[in-house]
Chains A and B, each alone.
Chain A
Amino acid sequence: MSLVLQGVASGVVTGCVYALVALSLVIVYKATDVVNFAGGELVMIGAYLGLLLLLWFQLPYIAMFALVPVAVFAVGALFDRITLRKVGGRALAKHVDLVSFVVATIGLSYLLKGAVRVVPFTEEVRRLPPLFSGPPVFIGDVVLQRQDLAIIAVTTMIMLALWLFFERTLLGKALRATSQNARAAALVGVPVSAMRMAVWGLASAIAGIAGVLLAPKLLMTPDMGAVVMLAFAAAIIGGFSSLPGCVVGGIALGVIQNLVGIFISPQAIAVTPFFVIMLVLLFRPEGLFGESLALKKV
């Protein structure tokens, strides 16, 4: 029983990271109709930038934690400004648009992965030092590392900040208007293309933070962007359009994965997210929280 409890607890922790990455994917999708297959690589460069700043420039942890989102924000915003604006600015058939966007983000993902791989710094497999170190914390029978608590705390803070940002600030409202109906937003004076850039930057920054949080728990390799599929699964559970859905989806997925590992087989953990994606899309394509798929933007 304690094994199961432990599995659930650590599932919630990893689920928080999946939820962050899923948020990053869904924010981008809602605002710009782009499925970001490079989301995982943004997580990965977030982690490597953190490592670089800590070990190479010897910066304190707090400075690194502040600088990484800024740098990854710039990567995302520039990608939108340079590539996506050009790709999306053409009047081509709708399916061509989707394919072009996806291909562009796949291009970005290989570009980032390739760039990290050729840097000699990445040849050794390293581990990012955790945010807080110290003896693990016991809650009943459940053991949690301090880093796990930090992950839950930071994730909660980011989600609160996002909620406040989208609900209470003018910029957040402009972003929401852009994602609901870009044409109408433009008519009331929202600078739509600047908003798209901001969304890409914001989403990338979230992914970068997720990288810094995740990296201490994993071995860092240029392939750690594979975590994006877990985020896709989390987002799909949430319907790919609802932000609270992402959070619930992420945490549910983290827990499901650990339970599969305990009750079925550790080998099956790797295939769980894909199974979840297929099952959800097969039986409830709009997700557990999403609006009906028939609803279209004008």
Chain B
Amino acid sequence: MYGAPPPKQLAALGLLVLAGFVLPHALPDYFLYIGNLLMMYAVLALGLDILLGWTGQFAFAHIAFYGFGIYATALLNMRLGIPFVLGMPIAAAVAALIGLLIALPATRLRTVYLALATYAFAECAQWVFRTWDSVTRGPDGLRMSAPQIFGYMVGNDRDAMPVIAIILAVMLGATLYLVRSRLGRAFCAVRDSEHVAAASGIDVKRTKVLAFTISAFYAGVAGGVYTLFQSFVHPDGLGVWTLVLVLTMIVVGGSGTIGGVLLGVLLLGVLPEALRAAPRGLLVWQEFAYGLILILAIMFMPRGLWGLVIYRLRRKARRGPPPQAVPVPALEREP
């Protein structure tokens, strides 16, 4: 799987952008909000999956980079007046830089130790967001001013949707190219066996560090997207719960597959809204439901829903259409 992505996939990106421009005129605000939320989670989850699903590094620091992205974009805009078009790339680059710095020591660790070290880093970052009052407003949360894009004020979900759709399309396109590139195949090689990867001339350490950095960049972009359609950020939202949500999306959808991740984002992003809309307020069951879904998914769909779908399709294709009775030519019939 390398070379340019198939034209169908590129056309789907075009459709996504088109939908981003058309839907705001067709749907009520609430649906637009959910659409924006899902697109943001998609960027976040695609980034985490580069590290988890493609490179096989089980790291929890993603949520911290997302937080850096949010606060950096918002503060650049509010304190220094740097517009979103410049601010978001700067914020994402800062997140990526921190990711790089974390990766240098973190890639010496593996398995449990890596998971715990990055988890600890994420908790430390959340603590900083909560305690650094003069910058982040601490536990009061930060009220963000509406970002401007080329003088065009993005104040609500309706305005934000086309912008977010474009950003998601760019990130999705980048992912499509990335996983087909030499680097993307190096990610998979490191995931499947570090020894074999090293023997094939892949610099394992460098590949892991790059995966961390790129993944942090995605998280930073997702943070920037957050500032487009939300007006308030609170450190409580940047904790383990959000990370577990994104992890659940990847695991339920199918890690290491772009389609699966998007599917997971769609299903689990809509779930809390469905629980909220259900009669008698099922929202208290949310935690229980996520726990149950995670356990059942990991028990019965080790490769996620996407893996299940693909497996079924392949098996069907291999079997071919069911054999049909071959009509015997008339001449060969017994008289």
Contact = CB atoms under 8 A, between A and B. Distances in A.
Contacts of A160: none
B58 A118 contact: no
B198 interface: no
B295 A83 contact: yes
Interface stretch (B66-74, B284-292, B313-321): B284-292
Contacts of B52: 99
B292 A278 contact: no
Classify chain A's interface size.
35 or more
A164 B247 CA distance: 41
B117 A106 contact: no
Nearest to B192: A93
B123 interface: yes
A186 interface: no
Interface string B116-141: 11011101100100010000000000
Given A35-B112, A96-B302, A285-B109, A271 B123 contact: yes
Contacts of B288: 110-111, 114-115, 117-118
B302 A90 contact: yes
Nearest to A226: B240
A270 B127 contact: yes
B285 A29 contact: no
B124 A87 contact: no
Interface in A1-53: 29, 35
Given A99-B52, A277-B117, A282 B105 contact: yes
Interface string B172-189: 000000000000000000
A102 interface: yes
Query: Which of B116, B119, B244, B247 has the largest number of chain A CB atoms within 10 A?
Result: B116
Interface of B: 52, 56, 58, 105, 108-109, 111-113, 115-117, 119-121, 123-124, 127, 131, 191-192, 244, 247, 251, 255, 284-295, 298-299, 302
Contacts of B127: 270-271, 274
A110 B124 contact: no
Contacts of B286: 114
A107 B123 CA distance: 20
Contact of B244 (A87, A106, A273): A106
Contacts of B191: 93, 95
Nearest to A229: B123
Contacts of A236: 113, 116
Q: Which 9 A-B pairs have the closest CB atoms?
A: A114-B288, A111-B291, A107-B294, A110-B291, A114-B287, A107-B295, A274-B120, A95-B56, A277-B120
A92 B302 contact: yes
Given A35-B112, A93-B191, A267-B131, 18 more contacts: A83-B299, A95-B58, A98-B111, A99-B58, A103-B251, A104-B298, A106-B247, A107-B292, A107-B295, A110-B244, A113-B291, A114-B285, A117-B288, A229-B119, A274-B124, A278-B121, A281-B113, A282-B105
B255 to A, nearest CB: 7
A33 to B, nearest CB: 9
A73 interface: no
A205 B44 CA distance: 38
Contact of B284 (A90, A117, A277): A117
Contact of A114 (B121, B247, B255, B290): B290
